[in-house]
Structure 1
């Protein structure tokens, strides 16, 4: 798991930089982690989270690692976010 955390530490600044280009406030709808195992099976764990958070991504990765790895080696670690839907944001703002 230490290697997985180190990879997240390396990937996170790039994700943050890319997100800041399109969403400077870093507000998101969801964030998650993908793990590809040495048998080429892929698992994704994501959940609703309002703002990009490295600590939350590491916690999610640790949970996924412990619950889904099953002793398999990990060959790929990925991070992703889902942006808020602008239409939904607009509707929510109109209600204020």
Structure 2
């Protein structure tokens, strides 16, 4: 991938974008996200959910909200939308 993100990491960004998780008050539950991820990428040759999240956190695309159950939101909206758009995903405009 040209931006350094894999198909798995782009899938996570796309879910967060579709659900409009752009603020710390509107994070997406990690267990729900993990369930969707495992359904999409069940094989052993795929990047693990934990590794995909680590990549997005390290690159600054998402931020973790520490609660009883961890939540994630897109913290770098412009770069996330640019990466999704460059890889053929449809993104919503505006906040």
Q: Would you say same fold, with TM above 0.5?
A: no
For normalisation by structure 1, the TM-score amounts to 0.29
